[in-house]
Amino acid sequence: MHKSIAMALSCVACLAAVGPVAAVSISDMKDFTALHGRYGPKGDCGKYPQVVIDAVGFALDRGQGKVERAPTLEYAASYFGQDYQGDAHAFFPFWTDAGPNPLLVLVNDGKPGALAVSGHDFGWEGGPPMPARYQPWLQGSPYAKCAKS
């Protein structure tokens, strides 16, 4: 067998083993009460922006009354693999006018109360730049849950 064909087949086999990540649309965060609260930048809950998770969903509080709520939400239930037993969760808050999901929010990834926002369909190396509208979500990351929410 030609060496390049063998390499291509092994790459296909590797990708097949990884499997797809399934995300499902959810209408609210009522089933995730343990995640509800405010998350301050790097754990400083006196600074902004702050991510807010409540029964309605996700919002970004930029201070001085500037709050933007993500109108649509997907939960990536299989993000960590089908056998994952931990308490980390992956969400895609998004805006229908954005096209693809601009952001990935990981909650409790690594430790309880941790929240990290990263670019998903925007802002990654070699891809389209993150639109200015969503950059404030990235500015405070990583976040940590505030003691009093």
**Amino acid 67: pLDDT:** 94
pLDDT number for residue 128: 85
Per-residue pLDDT for the chain (149 aa), expressed as one digit of tens each? 443 333 333 333 333 334 455 688 899 999 999 999 999 999 999 999 999 999 999 999 999 999 999 888 999 877 777 777 778 899 998 877 666 677 899 999 878 999 999 988 887 788 888 888 888 889 899 999 998 65
- pLDDT number for residue 52: 96
The pLDDT of residue 27: 92
How many CB atoms are located within 10 Å of the residue 143 CB? Answer: 25
What is the sign, positive or negative, of the torsion defined by CA atoms of 128, 98, 42, 21? negative
pLDDT at 87: 83
The CB-based long-range contact list for 52-60 (8 Å cut-off, 24+ gap) reads: 53/29, 53/107, 54/29, 55/28, 55/29, 55/30, 56/28, 56/29, 57/28, 57/29, 57/93, 58/29, 58/91, 58/93, 58/105, 60/136, 60/137
Task: Write the single-letter amino acid at 130.
Answer: M
